[in-house]
Structure 1
Amino acid sequence: MVKTLNIIGGKWKPVILHMLASQTLRFGEMRRLIPPISQKMLTQQLRELESDGIINRKVYAEVPPKVEYSLSTLGKTLIPALEALYAWGDNYPDTGGDLKL
């Protein structure tokens, strides 16, 4: 479990993976879909996910440069676990705690 949380844990990785579960996205598209994330943090999270083999990064030889991100085969195996976590969160009783994204 520790290994899994080290790979997908944190504030932004589950959000990024959830978005990539349904589509391939470019960096700018992700920035627009997650307004509160900084460019530096998104870059860091994407690099870590790529390094762990969870996402693929495809660079096109174009000007301006075009880079697309998608889930790898390994990353796709995480989708059922992430969906279960999202379902649990949707059903989490509101106890008055300060749960924020």
Structure 2
Amino acid sequence: MIESHTRPLCPRFHRAVELIGRRWTGAILRVLQGGGARFGSIAAAIPEMSDRMLAERLRELEHEGIVTRNVTAGGSPHVEYALTEKGRALDETFCAIARWAEAWGDDPRGGG
């Protein structure tokens, strides 16, 4: 819990909000909360997003240590993306955002 609303905000807070607030990032993370998924499955779950943008966001999330890219060996090798421990730590945050959106998302004036 933030101790004071008058204290200057920590740069880490700003960085975190910018990271998870990037367009499509939240949607990707919500898909991966259900478990590991292939690129095509993620793309199908977010049809409005281009494949190019999905690949870019997945690379960013992998670079940040939020998503891992696993290549499975076998007869037909494929790539699967999954949340890391760091990514799974966002579950509670995204549940809180979902609750907030459900309560307030349709009211642009905040009238409840």
TM-score range, shorter chain: 0.7 to 0.9
Question: Which TM-score applies when normalising by structure 1?
Answer: 0.86
- State the TM-score, normalized to the length of structure 2: 0.78
Consecutive unaligned residues of structure 2, counting only runs of 5 or more, are 1-12
CA RMSD of aligned residues (A): 1.8
- 1:84 alignment partner, SS class: helix
Which residues of structure 1 form unaligned runs of 5+?
Answer: none
- C-alpha offsets along residues 11-62 of structure 1, whole Å, 9 cap, x if unaligned? 2111111111121100001111110100100000000000000011101245
| Equivalent residue in structure 2 for 1:58, among 61, 70, 85 | 70
Identity %: 35
Q: Which runs of 4+ in 1 moved over 2 A?
A: 60-65, 93-97
Letter in 1 for 2:84: S
Structure with greater Cα Rg: 2
Q: CA deviation at 1:84?
A: 0.4
Please say if 1:21 is aligned against 2:33: yes
Residue type at the aligned position of 1:41: M
CA distance in 2, matches of 1:94, 1:16: 22
Q: 1:7, 1:52 within 8 Å by CA — same for their partners in 2?
A: no
Tell me by how many angstroms 1:94 deviates.
3.0
1:88 is the counterpart of 2:100: yes
